[in-house]
């Protein structure tokens, strides 16, 4: 049995994908999800599936990213918008803001490491950052209204697309 179809392409077995896959209907579902600490391979796969450009701490217990915005207003709108989602998820990042930069660290205290909750919040933060950068910000009190349904549908479909690609590779291997 193959553990990897191709390590160069980064496609993993369904077992690995299943270990990091959660389908979410609403951010308020997140607090009730029981999580376990992801290993380095699972973290890398989850980041790849969702096209996230986050770094792991050297001990793989934290996700880290620095967001840079055009101005202070955008930075503040980003933080306010993320705060609303984090409150719904009951999962809060550690962040430091200076001028137009926000450095974020995330970890899940329940498992003393990175969990799927951190990956989902990272995915959400990326989406919010993209919206902030592409929208005119008038006031630091503005917030980006996150389309929860669209964001979570995209999150869920990323897993489905990855599984479809993997199944296509499996069929090609069987035909060989």
Residue with tokens 């996700």: 63
> How many helical (H) and strand (E) elements, i.e. helices and strands, does the chain have?
5, 6
Integer Cα distance of 46 and 63 in angstroms: 12
pLDDT in tens, 112-154: 999 989 999 999 999 999 999 998 888 878 777 777 878 888 8
Integer Cα distance of 107 and 127 in angstroms: 19
Predicted confidence at residue 130, as pLDDT, reads 93
Note whether 110 and 94 are within 8 A (CB). Answer: no
At 166, the pLDDT band (50, 70, 90 cuts) reads: low
Among the listed residues 146, 10, 160, 157, the one whose alpha carbon sits nearest the alpha carbon of residue 82: 146
When mean pLDDT is compared across 9-18, 47-56, 108-117, the lowest value belongs to 9-18
Among the listed residues 66, 74, 52, 61, the one whose alpha carbon sits nearest the alpha carbon of residue 123: 52
């Amino acid at each position: 049995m193959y553990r990897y179809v191709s390590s160069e392409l980064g496609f993993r077995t369904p077992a690995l994908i299943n270990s990091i896959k959660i389908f979410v209907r609403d951010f308020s579902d997140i607090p009730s999800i029981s999580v376990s600490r992801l290993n380095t391979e699972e973290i890398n796969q989850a980041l790849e599936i969702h096209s996230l450009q986050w770094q792991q701490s050297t001990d793989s217990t934290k996700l880290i990213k620095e967001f840079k915005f055009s101005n202070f207003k955008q930075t503040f709108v980003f933080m306010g918008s993320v705060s609303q989602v984090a409150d719904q998820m009951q999962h809060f990042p550690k962040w430091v803001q200076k001028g137009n930069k926000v450095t974020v660290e995330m970890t899940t205290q329940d498992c003393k490491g990175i969990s799927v909750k951190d990956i989902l919040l990272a995915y959400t933060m990326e989406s919010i950052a993209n919206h902030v950068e592409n929208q005119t910000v008038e006031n630091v009190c503005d917030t980006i209204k996150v389309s929860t349904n669209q964001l979570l549908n995209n999150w869920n479909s990323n897993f489905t697309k990855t599984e479809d690609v993997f199944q296509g590779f499996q069929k090609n291997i069987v035909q060989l």
